[in-house]
């Protein structure tokens, strides 16, 4: 009987060992599929979420939000592109800083330029700001600024007024010596805007913002999955707010006009009987 008990005990141990092996085999693939805590993936943004790369064309422009400072590294002579959204009533301002290597490695001065284009890739004129800067051989950086006109709600087909939608920033060296081509350069770009308010409000509005891939699609095409070259989608929608401080000034003007009418009537209506007319009697 003791021999039978020993055999049974050995069989139980073997069954437990086999169950443990099966459980380990089932858990191992799941553990292999899940990433380890130390694994990290490469990203094109820094720890604050700001982009650290720039596109090389309109189609590959790096998207940035207003108030976000983007950085990028490249070579002298490259075209660097970014894009940002601007809505009705805003006056965008683009600021760029170019940093060059040590002056000992450069033989001539360099001229850098920042340009801004709208969603139709029409170059937008700068109201004011240093759009072009020349960096002397002994200098290492330069600041460029472009303040656009106020974004309008609509414009004539022949006009190039800034309209709501995507805006592209292009930074490049427009004058550089052949010996300096290809030297490393870094850039910082930031787009911000000032809300002009009701003074810039107009009666018309666009049916669609000037966003590549959206403004040119029809209603039938919108139902299908189509490529969109920009993913900007404000939380409140594009030009969705009908309220502006223009309504306040309109209401104040109406109240002042009503008060002026009442005051004028009180001054001109007269308080007594006209002269030359005897009282009834």
CATH of the domain at 182: 2.60.120
Handedness of CA 112, 116, 119, 125 (dihedral sign): negative
User: Quick check: 214 and 220 in contact, CB under 8 A?
Assistant: no
Determine, yes or no, domain membership for 158: yes
Does residue 139 sit within a domain?
yes
pLDDT digits (tens, 9 = 90+) for 91-132: 999 999 999 987 667 778 999 999 999 998 999 999 999 999
How many residues make up the chain in this entry?
Answer: 281
Residues 142, 155 contacting (CB under 8 angstroms): no
45 domain residue, yes or no: no
Model pLDDT, residue 196: 80
Question: Is residue 38 situated within a structural domain?
Answer: no
Q: Percent of the chain having pLDDT more than 90? A: 36
Cβ atoms of 167 and 58 within 8 Å: the answer is no
**85 lies in some domain:** yes
Find out whether 234 and 85 touch, Cβ atoms under 8 Å. yes
Q: Is residue 191 part of a domain?
A: yes
The answer to whether residue 172 is domain-embedded is yes
> In sequence order, what are the beta bridge partners of 63?
83
| Integer Cα distance of 119 and 232 in angstroms | 12
Domain span at residue 124?
A: 62-222
Domain count for the chain: 1
Q: Is the pLDDT of residue 236 over 90?
A: no
Q: Could you read off the pLDDT of 253-278 as tens digits, one per residue?
A: 888 999 898 888 888 876 555 566 66
């Amino acid at each position: 009987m003791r021999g039978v008990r020993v055999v049974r005990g050995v069989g139980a141990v073997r069954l437990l060992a086999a169950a443990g092996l099966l459980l380990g085999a089932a858990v191992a693939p799941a553990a292999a599929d899940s990433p380890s805590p130390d694994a990290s993936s490469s990203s094109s943004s820094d720890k604050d979420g700001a982009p650290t790369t720039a596109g090389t064309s309109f189609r590959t422009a790096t998207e940035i939000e207003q108030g976000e400072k983007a950085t990028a590294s490249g070579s002298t002579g490259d075209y660097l592109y970014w894009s940002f959204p601007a809505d009705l009533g805003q006056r965008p301002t683009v600021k760029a800083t170019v940093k060059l290597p040590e002056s000992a490695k450069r033989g001539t001065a360099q001229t850098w330029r920042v340009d801004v284009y709208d969603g139709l890739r029409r170059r937008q004129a700068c109201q004011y700001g240093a759009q072009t800067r020349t960096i002397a051989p002994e200098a290492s950086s330069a600041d460029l600024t472009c303040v656009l006109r106020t974004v309008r709600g609509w414009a004539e087909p022949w006009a190039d007024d800034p309209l709501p939608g995507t805006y592209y920033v292009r930074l490049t060296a427009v004058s550089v010596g052949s010996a300096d081509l290809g030297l490393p350069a870094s850039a910082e770009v930031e787009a911000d805007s000032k809300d002009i308010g009701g003074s810039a409000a107009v009666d018309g509005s666009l049916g669609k913002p000037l966003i590549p891939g959206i403004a040119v699609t029809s209603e039938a095409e919108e139902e299908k999955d189509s490529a969109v070259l920009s993913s900007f989608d404000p939380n409140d929608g594009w030009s969705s707010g009908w309220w502006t401080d223009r309504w306040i000034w309109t209401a104040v003007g109406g109240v002042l006009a009503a008060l002026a009418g009442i005051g004028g009537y009180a001054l001109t209506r007269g308080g007594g009987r006209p002269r030359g007319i005897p009282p009834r009697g």
